[in-house]
């Protein structure tokens, strides 16, 4: 759930509060992470698996959620990288993304 309200310190700046199961899952992924790694839940993996190489890291205990299947993101799929620039998406990436 997303709730917007004016920030008490400024009448021109909005602040947002976000809560719910998605936020709880994101918090558990963050607290179960490994420095220097991108750690995602299975639900997120299902959304990005056609674009990124991911490594299953296992079912990880998560406070108040039991266990969550988690993955490390390893990078763009080879066929979606610009030549000699493995971190930059190519035109095929853009085409696939536009179809979502």
- Report the alpha-carbon angle 1-24-39, nearest 5: 120
- Answer for the pair 93, 80: CB distance below 8 angstroms, yes or no: yes
Catalytic residues: 28, 63
């Amino acid at each position: 759930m997303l709730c917007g309200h004016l920030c008490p310190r400024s009448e021109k700046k909005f602040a947002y509060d976000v809560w719910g199961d998605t936020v709880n899952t994101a918090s558990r992924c963050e607290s179960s992470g490994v420095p220097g790694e991108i750690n995602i839940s299975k639900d997120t993996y299902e959304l990005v698996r056609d674009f990124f190489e991911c490594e299953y890291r296992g079912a990880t205990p998560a406070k108040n959620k039991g266990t969550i299947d988690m993955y490390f993101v390893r990078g763009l799929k080879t066929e979606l990288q610009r030549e000699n620039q493995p971190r930059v998406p190519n035109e095929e990436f853009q085409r696939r993304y536009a179809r979502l």
